Amino acid sequence: MTRRYRLLGADGRSRASSTAGTLGGHRRLRIYGRLDCPSARRWLARGHYAAHRVFFADNEAARAAGYRPCAVCLPREYDQWTTLQEDR
Amino acid 49: pLDDT: 78
CA distances from 51 to 41, 46, 48, 76 (A): 14, 12, 7, 28
Phi, psi angle pair for 76, to nearest 5°: -65, -45
The CATH number assigned to the domain with range 5-87 reads 3.40.10
Sequence-ordered strand ranges (E) for the chain: 5-8, 14-17, 23-26, 31-34, 53-56, 68-69
DSSP assignment letter at 10: T
Amino acid 25: pLDDT: 92
Q: Is 1 a residue whose pLDDT tops 70?
A: no
Stronger pLDDT, 2 or 12, i.e. the higher one = 12
Q: Is 2 a residue whose pLDDT tops 90?
A: no
